[in-house]
Amino acid sequence: MKMSIIVCFINSGLVKLGVHCVTGRRVAIKIVNREKLSESVLMKVEREIAIMKLIEHPHVLGLYDVYENKKYLYLVLEHVSGGELFDYLVKKGRLTPKEARRFFRQIISALDFCHSHNICHRDLKPENLLLDEKNNIRVADFGMASLQVEGSMLETSCGSPHYACPEVIRVRQSECLF
């Protein structure tokens, strides 16, 4: 694996752009320093890896490989060059109905696939929806995802409060009052 420039910093590490030596494919390499993470955050990263290994779908960011040593985890991910849907929306403004339907179909297709494999993303937001060079959606960041037993309900809320539905906010507030 050849690595080049740093693409961005993330909460649990950094992401570099690389080229896979065997396939020649451009990849994003998420580098996680185990020594800088608490045990609970490290467990979330390991859960994210386990969940991503279960998913292979055209609208979910692909995890190609994982390398590790005592200090670091290296997640070799599909490289998508279009950035976040959030930035696209800020730059472009209002979507045409046709473009909105196209994005929505791709998101629903990815989520339906995840749900059919008992995976709940739990942090879906425009910042976690990446775009490839043809503006196709890739659902990313499964750090809060959960494997759920069929027929059971999740009992904890998580994700980004700014994107939470009113029912979740009401429950959080009522839990704080008692």
Which residues does 58 contact at the CB level (< 8 Å), separation at least 6?
109, 136
Residues whose CB is less than 8 angstroms from the CB of residue 130 and which lie 6 or more positions away in sequence, other chains included? 61, 80, 82, 83, 84, 85, 137, 138, 140
Q: Which amino acid is at 63?
A: L
Q: Which tokens sit at 166?
A: 């009113």
User: What are the catalytic residues?
Assistant: 123
- Residues 6 or more apart in contact with residue 61 via CB below 8 angstroms: 52, 77, 78, 80, 130, 138, 139, 140
Q: Say if residue 60 is exposed, middle or buried (CB neighbours under 10 Å; 0-12, 13-18, 19+).
A: buried
Taking the C-alpha atoms of residue 166 and residue 24, their distance in angstroms, rounded to an integer, is 46
Nearest to 81 by CA among 28, 22, 125: 28
Looking at residue 71, what DSSP letter applies?
S
